[in-house]
Structure 1
Amino acid sequence: MSTSSSVPLLLTPQQVHSLQGNKLSLLDASWFMPNSPRQPQQEFLAKRIKGAQFLDLDVVASHHEMGLKHMMPQERVFADACANFGIEHDSHVVIYDTHGIFSAPRALFMFRTFGHYNSSVLDGGLPAWLAEGLPVESGPTARVTPTEYPTPTLRIDALRSYDQIVANSSIEPTANANADLVLDARSRGRYLGIDPEPRPGLSSGHIPRSLSLPFNMFLQEKEGVDGMKYTTFLPPADVHNALKEAIGAERADLVLKGVLPVTTTCGSGMTAGVLWLGLKILGVERLSIYDEASFFRSLSCI
């Protein structure tokens, strides 16, 4: 399997198109907020990149006692999903979504945290693919021959549990403190608690000592062929500037030097993946996502 440094995190539509036929596995990981009327699987059947399969992040997930969705799956759940997609341990998995950049980074985080480093995100997703005039298809997907995907090893250091975040919230993150800098990917209004949460029953506000870095600060908006807006990542230099604007130049420098570890979070762990990917693009290695998977919570207490 390829190492994390040898496979690009982001690929353009033309780069992905050039890979077709070379053990490429395309996954549509589109996901929408609970209050959205859009149906990702119906949209997938109506239009998708030719040869793609649908990855439901709410299905390939751990079963949480609180009903939380898209938490990190157990090793065998992930492996079985890959096997059913026909993915082999050396397949190049390219993930996209219909927003452009939204849920695909979370799926990439899952693959790479399970050691499948031969994986990338299609920058701009399906809208960028359509803008390039590349082939699409519709209707039911073709039957896939399952593979024998080996049980992977989860990188525990890439995740933070509830108990770890609670303990971390009592410590001011500095160069000399044993604490993560927690970055909140939600909108500024949700971070401040002045805008309502999209999920009923959730309290407003933010984790103590966390900082606000709305995920769209790392993105730029473009217009698709149908007039609909979609997003792509900003150039790395602009991502760096957005990081400095949100957390200050001194903290940003400590993060980039690996002195200050970072945990990204959001409402459910989805857009935290956008921050994770943006920071990975900048070369940040001491990086995790707050993920309240029930099996991980038990492991963190051992």
Structure 2
Amino acid sequence: MSIYGDNCPLVLTPQQLNDLRSDTGVAVLDASWFMPNAPRNAKGEFAQKRIRGAQLLDLDHVASPNELGLKHMMPSPEAFAKACEDFGISPSSHVVIYDTHGVFSSPRALFMFRTFGHNRSSILNGGLPAWEAHGCPIDQGHATAPSKSVYPPPKMNDRAIRDYLQMRQNATLNPAGESAAEIVVDARPQGRFHGTDPEPRPGLSSGHIPHSRSLPFTAFLETNNYEKDGTTATYTTLRSPTGIYESLQTALGPEYTKEVMSGKRNIVATCGSGMTAGVLWLGMKTLGVDNIGLYDESWTGYASREESPIEKTTQP
């Protein structure tokens, strides 16, 4: 069992993870994911360079089938349990997740583990680049498969997930006049939220869900520089709780921020496909916000349906 026991932090530093490497109860997963139009391949990059002892978690591979054919949806309890068994992860394992951007797709993987009640889980702040920048050990080549474990199918926390019908119903409620309305924050870039920039997925309208607020996931992140192969490379890390709170208040205003922080009003994160909404989820969890959910299909699922009302604005 990890030295943290049942109180595993949401976020670990490279030094903290390096101190855990000799712990047999720790499992490290690379959950790197790239946009469909990105010229990068997670599997190929994993073989070239990874944290020593890590295994590759393909969020698309473990996902449940979706009626619209969407990727990386939440898996069924059985699919999640099987993936854990294949990774040699047991319910007592401390799972540490990272990605190659720094902080990008690892929060979505952490959301998956925590939503299935596996609270012995964390992300590596800064991911593989931060690990490398701190001089920590790297593996290359073929990864050795671990011994399989036993992982009973867990119960999913349904309160953490929103579906299309719930989002449609909530969109009919104006938070200014309806105390039951959930605040919806959208992690996409502002141009896509306002409808002035196109979506990266062909044929999909940009814009936003009625009454939602723009909160780009980058507002919760900081950019860091480090020297790599004679050039300056960058990676992202999660901002401090103070910085995250300031960004949240800028997006929501003082009144709604107070209601969310006190638990009086629920908040739901959405994005393009359900990936970077995990960054907003993680940031708010670090503030102690428990009343946060995630719209699994996100904008791709919402805007793909012709009956969905879409709002566009001409300015932020």
**Counterpart-to-counterpart distance in 2, 1:25 and 1:175:** 47
What is the identity percentage for the equivalent residue pairs of Structure 1 and Structure 2?
A: 54
Question: Which residue does 2:182 correspond to in 1?
Answer: 180
Runs of 4+ in 1 over 3 A off after TM superposition: 1-5
Q: Deviation per CA, 1:97-151: give whole Å up to 9, x if none.
A: 0000000000000000000000000000000000100000100101211111111
Q: Is the 8 A contact 1:175 1:259 kept in 2?
A: no
Greater shift after overlay, 144-153 or 220-229?
A: 220-229
Q: Is the 8 A contact 2:186 2:193 kept in 1?
A: yes
**Counterpart-to-counterpart distance in 2, 1:278 and 1:248:** 17
Q: Aligned AA for 1:259?
A: K
Question: Which residue does 2:313 correspond to in 1?
Answer: none
Greater shift after overlay, 246-255 or 104-113?
A: 246-255
State the shift of 1:292 in Å: 3.5
- Mapping 1:4-23, distance limit 5 Å: 6-22=7-23, 23=25
Q: Is the 8 A contact 2:110 2:122 kept in 1?
A: yes
**Counterpart-to-counterpart distance in 2, 1:102 and 1:61:** 18
The answer as to 2:248 corresponding to 1:246 is: no
Question: Which residue does 2:59 correspond to in 1?
Answer: 57
Q: Deviation per CA, 1:194-246: give whole Å up to 9, x if none.
A: 11111112111001110000000010000133222110011111111111111
* 2:134 maps to which of 132, 135, 150: 132
Q: Aligned AA for 2:75?
A: P
Greater shift after overlay, 4-13 or 236-245?
A: 4-13
- Mapping 1:195-274, distance limit 5 Å: 195-226=197-228, 227-274=232-279
Q: Aligned AA for 2:108?
A: R
**Counterpart-to-counterpart distance in 2, 1:32 and 1:260:** 33
Q: What do you get for the CA RMSD once the two structures are aligned?
A: 1.7
Question: Which residue does 1:119 correspond to in 2?
Answer: 121
Q: Aligned AA for 2:205?
A: S
Q: Aligned AA for 2:53?
A: G
Q: Aligned AA for 1:87?
A: I
Question: Which residue does 2:143 correspond to in 1?
Answer: 141
State the shift of 1:176 in Å: 5.8
The answer as to 2:94 corresponding to 1:92 is: yes
**Counterpart-to-counterpart distance in 2, 1:248 and 1:162:** 26
Question: Which residue does 2:79 correspond to in 1?
Answer: 77
Q: Is the 8 A contact 1:174 1:260 kept in 2?
A: no
**Counterpart-to-counterpart distance in 1, 2:173 and 2:6:** 32
State the shift of 1:250 in Å: 1.6
Q: Residue 122 of structure 2: SS of its match in structure 1? A: strand
Q: Between Structure 1 and Structure 2, how many residues are aligned? A: 293
* 2:169 maps to which of 167, 170, 173: 167
Greater shift after overlay, 23-32 or 225-234?
A: 225-234
Q: Is the 8 A contact 2:87 2:145 kept in 1?
A: no
Q: Is the 8 A contact 2:116 2:156 kept in 1?
A: yes
Gaps of 5+ in 1: 294-302
Q: TM-score, normalised by structure 2?
A: 0.90
The answer as to 2:293 corresponding to 1:291 is: no
Q: Is the 8 A contact 2:217 2:277 kept in 1?
A: yes
Q: Residue 157 of structure 1: SS of its match in structure 2? A: helix
**Counterpart-to-counterpart distance in 2, 1:263 and 1:4:** 29
Q: Residue 190 of structure 1: SS of its match in structure 2? A: helix
Q: Is the 8 A contact 1:101 1:233 kept in 2?
A: yes
Q: Residue 129 of structure 2: SS of its match in structure 1? A: helix
State the shift of 1:4 in Å: 11
Q: TM-score, normalised by structure 1?
A: 0.94
